């Protein structure tokens, strides 16, 4: 079975120390999967560090067509990883993993 579309959900909580490198890898992912209809869903689960700011700067830096491939969900209160994953699934338009 070939995958033609895919939603990848990242629950995020207080990841400022690792986030920049991971976001760079997401940019590389877009380059290597040009033929794949992919969406990335970042779910910020009430981070209290600079995670929200880092993600917003990343989103501003994206080229227009790649910015359409990323959804950013943010809520101010930590509700847990399970809740974050459910929110990502509810917002997914493609098959999700």
Question: Per-residue pLDDT averaged across 28-32, rounded?
Answer: 78
90 falls in which pLDDT band (50, 70, 90)?
very high
Neighbours of 54 (CB within 10 A): 19
Please state, in angstroms and as integers, the Cα–Cα distance from residue 68 to each residue in 56, 63, 85, 87, following that order: 14, 9, 20, 18
Global pTM value: 0.88
Q: Which of 88, 8, 7, 12 is nearest to 52 (CA)?
A: 12
Comparing 28 with 41, which gets the higher pLDDT? Answer: 41
The whole-chain average pLDDT of the chain stands at 89
Question: Per-residue pLDDT averaged across 53-65, rounded?
Answer: 88
34 pLDDT above the threshold of 80: no
């Amino acid at each position: 079975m070939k995958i033609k579309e895919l939603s990848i959900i990242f629950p995020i909580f207080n990841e400022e120390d690792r986030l920049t490198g991971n976001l760079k890898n997401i940019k590389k992912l877009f380059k290597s999967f040009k033929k794949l209809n992919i969406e990335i869903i970042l779910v910020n689960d009430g981070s209290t560090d600079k995670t929200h700011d880092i993600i917003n700067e990343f989103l501003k830096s994206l080229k227009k067509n790649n910015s359409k491939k990323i959804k950013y969900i943010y809520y101010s209160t930590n509700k847990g990883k399970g809740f974050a994953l459910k929110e990502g699934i509810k917002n997914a338009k493609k098959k999700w993993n």
